């Protein structure tokens, strides 16, 4: 069996839980062909597949998105927080808290607004490349033989399959986790999936000249007493970095990572320079019986 590169980063003797990261070349996915279940079981926190997608196709899409950015209908749900001002294509109501909607939007609003915007993300790729089908095929390589499907509401309406995310010069994603099942928009989906964690999937379309790295911490979302800034809900980054181990990841066009985003605190470093960080991605979960993988954004 091909050998994966396993990192258990330790940044000092006072650190606690390691970040378990597995890095493979896409040709050697057999080493982690049940990787989603491994993330759920806690055997790893992060899986990186280099070259999971055609780098030329994704890179060309990323270059076009940067070059034509001013003409595209980007949603900016974090506009009130300039440092975290992520630009989105594919929905203007993501399945996460935002500064515009700190508790997320209601399920019906999410479904309607996502349906209206979904084509915006799909059309950035060249004719003949079906991004949703490509994602399904790649995610299936980590699904242990399970079917991989876009999540649906009880009445059959589809969740959005993926979104395009763009971080420009000077923006970042602050430290957070993504265990969002308590949000109203998950009221149906949370009954059908294993809610122990939420896994994010992210493929790179364009890498910035500097910054934009993913930083994953050994801090768990369910750990009591996680450091927070005085009088606020935000995590105290300086205290987290002092107390916990971390793993830093930089990706290139065509690379994919799967992250236990519901379990591990993580952030995206500030982008530096005129070249944006552009990705496509979303979330996935095992269903309650571990028979299928459902994905959405």
* Average pLDDT of the residues of the chain: 93
CATH superfamily of 5-296: q2cbj1_9rhob like domain (2.60.120.620)
Tell me which of 5-9, 27-31, 77-81 is least confident: 5-9
Q: Which pLDDT score is estimated for 296?
A: 97
pLDDT band at 27 (very low <50, low <70, confident <90, very high): confident
Check whether 5 has a pLDDT greater than 70. Answer: no
Entry pTM:
0.93
Q: Which pLDDT score is estimated for 116?
A: 85
pLDDT band at 14 (very low <50, low <70, confident <90, very high): very low
Domain extents in the chain? 5-296
Q: Which pLDDT score is estimated for 1?
A: 32
- DSSP structure string for the chain: -PPPEEEEE---TT--SPEEEEEEEGGGGGGGTTHHHHHHHTS-SEEEEET-S-HHHHHHHHHHHHHTGGGS--B-TTTTSGGG--EEES-SS-SS--SSSTT---HHHHHHHHHHHHHHHHTTSPTT--HHHHHHHHHHTTTTT-EEEE-B-TTSPBPP--EEEEE-TT--EEEE----TTSGGGTTGGGTB-TT--EEEEEEEE--SB---EEEEEEETT-TT--B-TTSSSB-HHHHHHHS-EEEE---TT-EEEE-TTTEEEEEPPPBSSS-EEEEEEEEEEBTTSSEEEEE-
Interval 34-54 mean pLDDT:
97
pLDDT band at 2 (very low <50, low <70, confident <90, very high): very low
Q: Which pLDDT score is estimated for 114?
A: 85
Note the pLDDT tens digit of each residue in 236-289.
999 999 999 999 999 999 999 999 999 999 999 999 999 999 999 999 999 999
Note the pLDDT tens digit of each residue in 129-170.
999 999 999 999 999 999 999 999 999 999 999 999 999 999
pLDDT band at 17 (very low <50, low <70, confident <90, very high): confident
Check whether 13 has a pLDDT greater than 80. Answer: no
pLDDT band at 11 (very low <50, low <70, confident <90, very high): very low
Q: Which pLDDT score is estimated for 105?
A: 94
Check whether 12 has a pLDDT greater than 60. Answer: no
Note the pLDDT tens digit of each residue in 205-217.
999 999 999 999 9
Q: Which pLDDT score is estimated for 118?
A: 81
């Amino acid at each position: 069996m091909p050998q994966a590169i396993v990192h258990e980063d330790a940044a000092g003797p006072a650190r606690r839980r390691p970040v378990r990261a597995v890095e493979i070349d896409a040709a050697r996915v057999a080493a982690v062909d049940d990787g989603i279940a491994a993330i759920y079981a806690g055997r790893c926190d992060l899986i990186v597949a280099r070259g999971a997608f055609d780098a030329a196709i994704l890179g060309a899409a990323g270059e076009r998105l940067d070059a034509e950015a001013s003409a595209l209908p980007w949603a900016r749900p974090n506009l009130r927080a300039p440092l975290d001002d992520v630009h989105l294509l594919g929905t203007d109501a993501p399945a996460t808290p935002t500064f515009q909607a700190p508790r997320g939007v209601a399920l019906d609003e999410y479904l309607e607004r996502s349906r209206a915007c979904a084509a915006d993300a799909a059309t950035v790729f060249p004719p003949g490349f079906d991004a949703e089908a490509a994602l399904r095929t790649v995610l299936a390589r980590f699904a242990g033989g399970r079917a991989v499907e876009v999540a649906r509401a009880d009445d059959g309406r589809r969740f959005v399959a993926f979104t395009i995310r763009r971080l420009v010069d000077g923006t970042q994603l602050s430290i957070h986790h993504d265990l969002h099942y308590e949000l109203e928009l998950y009221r149906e989906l949370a009954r059908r999936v294993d809610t122990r964690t939420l896994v994010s999937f992210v493929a790179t379309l364009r890498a910035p000249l500097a910054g934009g790295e993913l930083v994953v911490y050994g801090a768990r979302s369910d750990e009591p007493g996680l450091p927070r800034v005085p009088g606020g809900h935000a995590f105290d980054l300086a205290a987290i970095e002092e107390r916990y181990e971390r793993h830093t990841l930089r990706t290139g066009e065509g690379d994919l990572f799967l992250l236990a985003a519901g379990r591990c605190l993580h952030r995206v470093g500030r982008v530096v320079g005129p070249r944006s960080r552009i990705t496509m991605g979303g979330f996935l979960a095992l269903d309650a019986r571990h028979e299928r993988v459902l994905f959405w954004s």
